[in-house]
Chains A and B, each alone.
Chain A
């Protein structure tokens, strides 16, 4: 099968490995500080700004960028688009890792991480949007773990467990879309409770819808984006089917993204129109709002559409990168730029370098885990023994 890891096999001292090692060491150092000296010793958080980049990036971006799991599985299993076959496992793998590390990163952010199960098992605050987020993420991590597990069973050769899990594929896919709809939208709904603290251009009663719709094209664009990275680092692990379908996946998801993004642009405009917030468009915040919506939604949507018409895969890859950046920008705009906009500049939040350090640490862990899994397990290729199973 696929064992051609040619380059850099004999030495561990590659630049990539050295950088990874440094990041991991710094991450461990900050981790020790965080859990011995408290959150205050490693963050710039304060009483006005309780949520920093560990929420904006690790939670909000982490969850939305892991949406490729539900978009790809529903495209393949539910809508019957067979040319997504080879994209399913990589998408489930990255979604599972994405969510698992969202939960991991939350242990840094909450004050008493050993109580993270309280909302589910001890005291259920059912009136809270965050309760819904917590419950859905908890359930969805479980769903993703099961969906991902066949790769592990095939790797370990445990056929019994594999055949136990496979009949669950369709119900799990449907459950995954339900849970994703709920918590993707609920992450936006978290901000519904604080209208007085949010800039009107980003506050709308439709914010849950905005978050959910944007998760669709975020997920699809992430599949394309991860494909770019995977072809750089893990090309040798891909089988013929994966390589054959790769461009088709880009074209199909790019085209779908173009459509969804056009709809999204319309509802974002409607959000401004409904609350008659046009006057804010001519302020600094308005300009920034236009940068986000025109520069990072309309533009990549247009590039995607052009790429679809000309069947230009490279153009679509560029569009995917801009789209992913745009979704990250949106989540930061909601949670940092718009939130507390009315406070003095001196009262606003800017992350401590160690907060960034933890986020970089987490991303590095995800990439390392992803590389490990794709190297060992049948993700980018199909396990020869199970190719024609049943």
Chain B
């Protein structure tokens, strides 16, 4: 059973990669729609008033783990009552897991909260070469700092510009991003931001329920909402979902396809196996063909030389016989000596003429391929 399963997997992977690089996944007829019990958060920009209480709630939970505050209890805390910061575009960084930005729209100012979206098929986890990011079946995408090499490919890969880096640390720089308060969720508590929201603009729950809630709100008040639930399908879907009174792109949400990050790279990864499998055959074949051709050329040359030498010998013999006959006829010893000399000369001359050409690295075996040819 085990063996059969292995073979099935192998052939599925191989065939998948061979037939179409875009579907190197063995499961071409099924699709992953997220872990069924996974939780998430719905942010409703129609309800959000931009009070920054969520930022404060986040800081209360996570502040002591952030680089600027970790080893320095006296470090000045951010002033979350200051709403002036909403005038400029902000992003998360290694000391802030979440920020709220304000966007001016035809429906007035609209606020959007930024933090990790906890993708169903995260680009960061797919990109990480030490598996420092893990998508938990419960929903949060969690980070394992003890594995992180600090290559920052997760930051390149993330379509939402979420992972941030502590560039200031010399000895333990790490990636920082929202954890969805995974430890609190495990204890049955709400994420810090959700708990702090005074307007119920943030709803925590099972992702499947959140989608239903979002649809219901759109259906009840279609004039208030854009019809799209952002995050439902973006790059395979995210566990944070967004409702907006205007098009999501007006709130600087990126335009993303439905293809998940792992699907984007699976074709290229599948091709690796193809190269490993077939390159040795092609390259070894090229080597063998060249070796064989060299050998054939040598054999041909050798044969030509042998034939030529034999022919000359015969000719010289005939000449000798003729000369001997003549000498016998004349009974002249001096002439006979001359004839013998002529024979020797003829052989020498032809041998020089048809001497085997310098073999071009002839029967070279791999080991002497680099050592030979010193004659060149």
Binding site for B on A (CB under 8 A): 35-41, 43, 45-48, 50-51, 74, 77-80, 82, 85, 88, 109-113, 115-116, 118-119, 122-125, 127-132, 134, 150, 166-167, 169-171, 173-174, 177-178, 181-182, 185-186, 189-197, 205, 208, 241, 339, 382, 386-390
Give the distance in Å from the alpha carbon of A119 to the alpha carbon of B91 in the complex.
30
Interface size on B, residues (CB 8 A): 76
Top-6 shortest CB links A-B: A111-B150, A40-B167, A80-B290, A50-B152, A111-B173, A387-B374
Q: Which of A48, A128, A174, A390 contacts B283 (CB 8 A)?
A: A174
Binding site for A on B (CB under 8 A): 21-22, 91-94, 123, 125-132, 147-153, 155-157, 159, 161, 163-170, 172-174, 254-257, 261-262, 264-265, 267-269, 271-272, 275-276, 279-280, 283-284, 286-287, 290-291, 293-294, 360-361, 366-376
CB atoms of A194 and B157 under 8 A apart: yes
Return chain B residues, CB-CB under 8 Å to A166: 367-368, 370-371
Query: Apart from A47-B91, A192-B264, what 15 extra A-B contacts exist at CB < 8 Å?
Result: A37-B170, A38-B166, A51-B152, A82-B376, A122-B147, A169-B366, A169-B369, A174-B279, A178-B275, A205-B21, A205-B267, A208-B271, A241-B376, A388-B375, A389-B368
CB atoms of B170 and A35 under 8 A apart: yes
Give the distance in Å from the alpha carbon of A37 to the alpha carbon of B173 in the complex.
11
Q: Which of A119, A129, A195, A390 contacts B130 (CB 8 A)?
A: A119
Return chain A residues, CB-CB under 8 Å to B164: 47
Return chain A residues, CB-CB under 8 Å to B130: 115, 118-119, 122-125
Interface centre among A45, A50, A88, A197, by most chain B C-beta atoms within 10 angstroms, is: A50
With A77-B369, A193-B127: A388-B374 Cβ-Cβ less than 8 Å = yes
Give the distance in Å from the alpha carbon of A287 to the alpha carbon of B159 in the complex.
27
Q: Which of A82, A178, A190, A387 contacts B360 (CB 8 A)?
A: A82
CB atoms of A196 and B256 under 8 A apart: yes
A-B pairs under 8 A by CB, number:
214
Return chain A residues, CB-CB under 8 Å to B256: 196
Q: Chain A: which residue is nearest B370 at the CB level?
A: A169
Q: Which label, helix, strand, loop or mixed, suits the secondary structure of the A interface?
A: helix
A-B contact pairs, 30 of them (CB 8 A): A35-B170, A38-B173, A41-B168, A43-B167, A50-B155, A77-B369, A78-B283, A78-B286, A110-B150, A110-B152, A112-B148, A118-B149, A119-B129, A119-B149, A122-B147, A123-B132, A124-B129, A125-B132, A127-B265, A128-B153, A171-B366, A186-B268, A192-B268, A193-B126, A194-B156, A196-B254, A196-B255, A339-B156, A382-B374, A388-B372
Q: Chain A: which residue is nearest B151 at the CB level?
A: A110
CB atoms of B370 and A39 under 8 A apart: no
Give the distance in Å from the alpha carbon of A274 to the alpha carbon of B257 in the complex.
17
Shortest B291–chain A CB gap in Å is: 7
